[in-house]
Structure 1
Amino acid sequence: MTNQFPVNRPLFDEVMVPNYSPSAVIPVRGKGSRVWDQNDREFVDLAGGIAVTCLGHCHPALTSALQEQGNKIWHLSNVMTNEPALRLAKKLVDATFAEKVFFTNSGAESNEAAFKLARRWALEEYNAEKSQIIAFKQGFHGRTFFTVTVGGQEAYSDGFGPKPGNISHAEYNNLESLKALISDKTCAVVMEPLQGEGGIISPTAEFVKGVRELCDQHNALLIFDEVQTGVGRTGDLFAYIGLGVTPDILTSAKSLGGGFPIGAMLTTTAIAQHLKIGTHGSTYGGNPLACAIAEATLDVVNTPEVLEGVKAKSKLIVDTLNSINAKYSVFSEIRGKGLLIGAALNESYQGKAKDFLNAAMDEGSMVLVAGANVIRFAPSLVISDEDIIEGLARFEKGVAKLAK
């Protein structure tokens, strides 16, 4: 395919809506946890497309599934079902608390479906007054108007006019804050079992169990947003398993498709029955191509080898980051779980997370931020130890320059 115009970073400013400000680097190919740009410059990927490419780039199981299903059938309307969707749903049900699955295209769509279902459940099981949704400050649940309002970050939800109503926000890891808001008029409490965009904040065992108990006391549903933590990211297939607390509804996306867009909402039969025919839908949700790739992803990830490997790789990253910090004293804390790790900047470097990201990129290492003060690492779950060591060695070079 030939172009009559240069395909470069200035073209973005010419033809794209300006809500992003992407790097000048334009990757063109990847293999495993290495990526190459238009100039054939190599990067080690410790970002994973924001916890999406859970098996790295061009994993043979995924490219095989893509090619095989791509030669069969790509898309059908929801007037019909399809084999990959049925197989994937069965495997998700067998591996979790859930009994029913609804497929979407993204995490925002999965959360939108979950919130609509919770409201519908409360209306039909109780009354119209039981409609309050409680989420947590600094949470993130997507960019639709409903989900961005539920997410507790006003920077993302302000400036678009009147917001959806009856949504409240408690403080994460503060049970008293939730107790002050929850009542019998609450239909659902929504939480990330490890806050991602809010700074890689883990819940205490007391908090997450207390949230479950409060939901039970007030007949409210507990919704776990596992868009970022799910599909092996924390070392369990889903984070709720490691926490020992079972939600009523769970949402998934990101890693579920290993890089191909797909999401899912999982719940019980009793709750699912409230989404009757015609009450919700998705044109592309559950299409055969996405489901075939997600099935292949799940088959690889949901194995003892990969899940145990996440825990070992996590330790290597955390230990290395602590070694870097011993030299340069830039972090106040290394936190997170599995391969969702945050390096929180200390008081001397507040607001400079993006500077560290850019410095790492200059040295050939791709990392993320989680707010202005936390550097986030979310690499492939099967990244090699060699790539971790090399990627963090390059990251350290960037740190060294900023620490001067």
Structure 2
Amino acid sequence: MSKNNIMNTYGRFDVTFEKGIGSKIYDINGNEYIDFVSGVAVNCLGHSHPSIIKAITEQSKQLIHISNYYWNTKHTQLSEKLINNCDHEKVFFCNSGTEAIEGAFKLVRKYGKLTGNTDKSTLLYMDNSFHGRSMGALSITGQEKYQKDFLPLIPNVKKINFNDIDDLNENFNENVCGIILEPIQGEGGINVVNSDYLKEVRNLCDKYDALLIFDEIQCGMGRLGELFAYKKFDVIPDVICIAKGLGGGFPIGAFIANKKASNALSLGDHGSTFGGNPLGCAVSLAVLNELVEGGVISSVASKEIYLKEKLSELKNKYNVIDEIKGMGLLIGISIKINPKEFSDLCFKNGLLVVTAGTNVIRLLPPLNVTLQEIDDVINILELVMKKL
């Protein structure tokens, strides 16, 4: 089995996986790992969940794809499900988080033009943020290491300091059409937005008639204990970008907008060949039913408390952890040693974790993880801390 035909764009571990069940995943040699990466917050119900298997099987026998020149039952049902669980009015379906960001980017630029101010085209974004790899998403990703080899990027964007109210006020004016932020910066190091900062962002958007975009691609879909992450904060955005957990492993993304924002896009302004296809929407409906009606989301808060208590015990016992960060089941451990070395040793002991920022280990378990599996992970983390 040759690996030479795949472009070398990922620093992969030396392992090939072939099956998984729940929080466990198995390589081609039968070795078992506990998966606390979850496809980077994608597999919210773990691997091979019966509801997802059933949805794929049943829908694939009926209708997999049609053009968006026509309606299909699943994408209308999914739109109703999402809108009934948020404070917004319209949804656009696509295939990924990056595509959701691109669509939201277009929406705010169009909104700015519709105000009558021809110069209203600046989009503010945060330092240390991550929004995707396409040229548009990359242009508003606040980390130079991802941008430098692809310059020049899209103009009329401005990076500002995350959680810095003074810098925010300095850069906000009548030519700003929108501002984008992650309520919790995932790849950037599990950095939570400050409540006062977020309220000032909302105030300035209202004052200057600009749109507030939340990138909930990693922190949404139940990961913080609410279906939408914004509900954990006292601010309602105009636009929400979602993906990852929305399909529980099946590729699907969306951006959702309130009335004034959604009205900016009109016939022919945006499109997506596979967006809203019946198979993807059927899977997403099954996932949301498990998350909401199935009670998965309602169990996140207690699991957060349990996991943080266990991590605090390790912090007090070993001189490895600086800080425990994050909310819900989006948890970061700031460590005093090389995070790559730490994650490699976790891998050798049967635990999958992913790094973030400069010194953070991300823990992203399936939302239906059991307390026993959390205990098993804590035991592996303790073993790694002893060795290091």
TM range (shorter): over 0.9
Provide TM-score, normalisation by structure 2. Answer: 0.98
What residue number does 1:41 align with?
Answer: 31
SS at 2:185 equivalent = coil
Q: For structure 1, which segment, 335-344 or 197-206, has the greater mean C-alpha deviation from structure 2 after superposition?
A: 197-206
For residue 123 of structure 2, give the secondary structure of its aligned residue in structure 1.
Answer: strand
Percent identity over paired residues? 39
1:273, distance to aligned residue in structure 2 (A): 2.3
Aligned partner of residue 286 in structure 1, secondary structure: coil
Cross-structure match for 1:31: 21
- Does residue 284 (structure 1) correspond to residue 274 (structure 2)? The answer is yes
Within-5 A mapping of 1:5-404: 7=1, 11-12=2-3, 14-303=4-293, 305-346=295-336, 349=337, 352-402=338-388
Q: CA deviation at 1:23?
A: 0.8
Aligned mates of 1:201, 1:304 — CA distance in 2? 30
In 1, Cα distance between equivalents of 2:151 and 2:190: 30
Cα contact 1:365–1:392 (8 A) shared by 2:
no
CA shift digits 1:31-85 (9 cap, x unpaired): 1101111110111111111000000011111111111101111111111121111
Stretches of structure 2 that go unaligned for 5 or more consecutive residues are: none
In the alignment, the residues of structure 1 paired with residue 327 and residue 294 of structure 2 have an alpha-carbon distance, to the nearest angstrom, of 17
Aligned with 2:296: secondary structure? helix
| Amino acid corresponding to residue 357 of structure 2 in structure 1 | G
Q: Which runs of 5+ in 1 are unaligned?
A: 1-6
Which AA in structure 1 matches 2:346? Answer: A
More displaced stretch, 53-62 vs 316-325: 316-325
Question: What count of residue pairs does the alignment treat as equivalent?
Answer: 388
1:170-227 CA deviation, whole Å, 9 max, x = no partner? 1111111111111000000101011111100111211111111111111110000000
Q: Distance in 1 between matches of 2:74 and 2:310?
A: 41
* Contact preservation (8 Å) 1:199, 1:342: yes
TM-score (norm 1): 0.94
Q: How far did residue 304 of structure 1 move?
A: 7.8
Q: Matched residues in 2 for 1:269 and 1:144: separation? A: 27
Kindly indicate whether the alpha-carbon contact (under 8 Å) linking 1:27 and 1:37 is maintained by their aligned counterparts in 2.
Answer: yes
Q: What is the alpha-carbon distance in structure 2 between the residues aligned to residue 84 and residue 176 of structure 1? A: 46
